[in-house]
Structure 1
Amino acid sequence: MKSVMTPADRDRFEKCLVLAEHGATAGERTAARAAAERIARGAGLTLAEASRAFGQRREAPRSEDRPSPAPRRPYAWAQPKEPVKPVTVEELARQKAETEAWRKRASAAADRQRKRERAEQDAYAAEARARQAERDREWARARAAAASGER
């Protein structure tokens, strides 16, 4: 059963074959050949079958009566990058305004959060004071009862 190589697999396979033929060192060429074999095996093909189907085809010298082959499609990574567009003053002003607006929103949100936390702390402190005041009153009553009972 043969499976089909995806276009990405074909590209990688072709690159590996080129590197296997033109690599700078013997180790590089061996590694590229092994990688090409793994890709072919993943597609259910042998290296020879995959090379015939998708790889670089070595052609016999062209005769004048043969049409030239269609040019290979260029790789996206090999295309020149589009030139960088300089940032305009208006764009910088817009970015600065966005940043300031974001800072104001973040600051307002932090203020609201601090107010909520402060309200919670105040409520907890008031509750603690009320409990302490009740304990103080109970202590004062007990002290007064003990003092009146001692005399």
Structure 2
Amino acid sequence: MTAWPPLDRERFAKCRALMERGATPGERAAGRAAATRIAAAAGLTLAQAERAGTVRSETAKPRSTPTYAWQRPKAPPTPITLEELQAQKLAAEARRRGQAERAAKRRRAVLAEQERQNVAVRAAQAERDRIWAEARGSGT
């Protein structure tokens, strides 16, 4: 038998697949004709080429499946203990308390600034009231 170049083997395998699994009779006939042409180019009949293709695939050693980290099964999770659960709960409460304290501190700072502004506004209003009262008292 003649050794085939890899491209011819690949083309023959594709044509053979079309010959066997074509959707319509026309596709299957076209696949058979193409497979026959490829076999004839190699100096073989279609039957000889099919035997050569099946013998090679049967004698070829099977490929090992690649092992990837994500293909390995995960280890079952260890159950959480009561102590760990209580520690998580205490940590969450402490975190919430800290957040509440920081928010209260920010609110106190905002309220203090507002009070300083209100004092200035009240002082200015008192001055305007005094000036108005003086102007009114002297004008009567």
What percent identity do the matched residue pairs reach? 38
Across the aligned residues of Structure 1 and Structure 2, the Cα RMSD in angstroms comes to 2.8
Change in Cα spacing, 1:59 to 1:127, as seen in structure 2 (3 Å) is farther
Total equivalences in the alignment: 89
Task: Give the structure with higher Rg (CA).
Answer: 2
TM-score (structure 1 length as normaliser): 0.50
**SS of residue matched to 1:87:** coil
SS in 2 for 1:105: helix
Please show how residues 44-83 of structure 1 align to structure 2 within 5 Å.
60=56, 71-83=64-76
Matching of residues 33-52 of structure 1 within 5 Å: none
**Shift in Å, 1:83:** 0.7
Tell me the equivalent position of 2:93.
100
Q: Give the corresponding residue for 1:145.
A: 138
**Structure having the larger proportion of residues in helix:** 2
Q: Give the 3-state SS of the residue equivalent to 1:120 in structure 2.
A: helix
Shift of 1:73: 2.3
Deviations 1:86-144 (A, max 9, x none): 11111101101110110111111011011101101111111111011000001011111
Q: Does 1:136 align with 2:132?
A: no
* Deviation for aligned residue 1:59: 8.4
Q: Which has the higher contact order (CA 8 A, sep 6+)?
A: 1
Q: CA deviation at 1:70?
A: 7.1
In 1, Cα distance between equivalents of 2:136 and 2:117:
28
- CA spacing shift, 1:59–1:69, aligned 2, 3 Å: farther
* Separation of aligned partners in 1, 2:119 and 2:55: 92
Q: Which runs of 5+ in 1 are unaligned?
A: 1-20, 27-57
Distance 1:75 1:111 in 2: 52
Normalised by the length of structure 2, the TM-score is: 0.54
C-alpha separation in 2, matches of 1:109 and 1:59: 78
